[in-house]
Structure 1
């Protein structure tokens, strides 16, 4: 009897949970607040909701400092650029992985493809470490607690220019091509690289 009552209560509880929220309500974002001032409402980009006209963006933060706003801005922008570079590096490596999987023939040895992936990831890391060009400060916001939040991003043009820069460096990387000993495989790799330029 107790088991039946418990199961009935659970079913009613689950039914109540399911009926209290529509799909539209479930899709809405929770209100955004400042991490350093959780009771104050913040712009959506502080909660990683990126503006649609940016191809990539990252939020940076600097706590309130006696050194002043110019130092805080440098700290926050640098924080955002580090995060943007890491995001860009991951994005480009994933794009290359997809491109190589769809372009490189299955007759190529798996070990060769893995070596090429590793080499490409190193090339991407080197290019990103040297320079991620044309990222810029989009907007900044001081929180009620005095911390500075900034959004640094790239539009689609700047993003693609950076992808092309990685592809150019990868194309010049001899070890990327030397992994393959057949003309067909080298052609497949070339197709994979070129497909990234048009994304």
Structure 2
């Protein structure tokens, strides 16, 4: 009897595992809820589903405060801007890495490329820390628990303007080009940087 029950349980488990979902079913997302009120449905941007007309965006949060919105709003916006800057810096470093490796790697040694990437990452970090211009508050939402959620983002034009600002600062850094032994490698690097401005 125990053997039959055990075999039945194994068979039932195996049949459940072999049940396949369609691609459409697998792609359906669970409804978005407020993190501070998990039983209440929230707008999709609170769950990091960014609107299509933004090139980049980030969600910020401020918990309910007795001081009210005049204190909560700047906290939430600052939280979002910090996250947006971090995301932008990662995106731009990735773009630089691809451009530099594809354009320069064939004409110079790996050490020079690695040093160049480190220099570019430092410049990018400095520029993003100083100013990430034209990011703006897109929308805000108060949760049922009283917390404030905000979406801060950049449209495609603002995003490209920020990329161009970083490209200009990188291109003006003379130590970047000194790492290459040949003039051709430095020229290739310059072309790679300029290609990022026309994306």
The corresponding residue for 1:149 is 149
Q: Give me the CA root mean square deviation.
A: 2.0
CA distance in 1 between counterparts of 2:96 and 2:156 reads 18
CA distance in 2 between counterparts of 1:15 and 1:51 reads 40
Contact 1:167/1:196 (<8 A) preserved? yes
CA distance in 2 between counterparts of 1:119 and 1:16 reads 53
Larger displacement relative to structure 2 (32-41 or 100-109): 100-109
Alignment size in residue pairs: 198
TM-score, normalisation: structure 2: 0.93
The corresponding residue for 1:36 is 36
1:104-160 C-alpha deviation (Å, 9 max, x unpaired): 142301111000000000010011011000000000000000000000000000000
The corresponding residue for 1:185 is 185
Q: State the shift of 1:14 in Å.
A: 4.2
Q: Mark the runs of 5 or more structure 2 residues left unpaired by the alignment.
A: none
> How do residues 34-183 of structure 1 correspond to structure 2 at under 5 angstroms?
34-183=34-183
CA distance in 2 between counterparts of 1:155 and 1:195 reads 20
Contact 2:85/2:128 (<8 A) preserved? yes
Contact 2:105/2:113 (<8 A) preserved? no
Q: State the shift of 1:18 in Å.
A: 4.2
SS where residue 19 of structure 1 aligns?
A: coil
Q: State the shift of 1:165 in Å.
A: 0.2
Distance 1:6 1:115, change over 3 A: farther
CA distance in 1 between counterparts of 2:106 and 2:9 reads 55
Q: Mark the runs of 5 or more structure 1 residues left unpaired by the alignment.
A: none
SS where residue 139 of structure 2 aligns?
A: strand
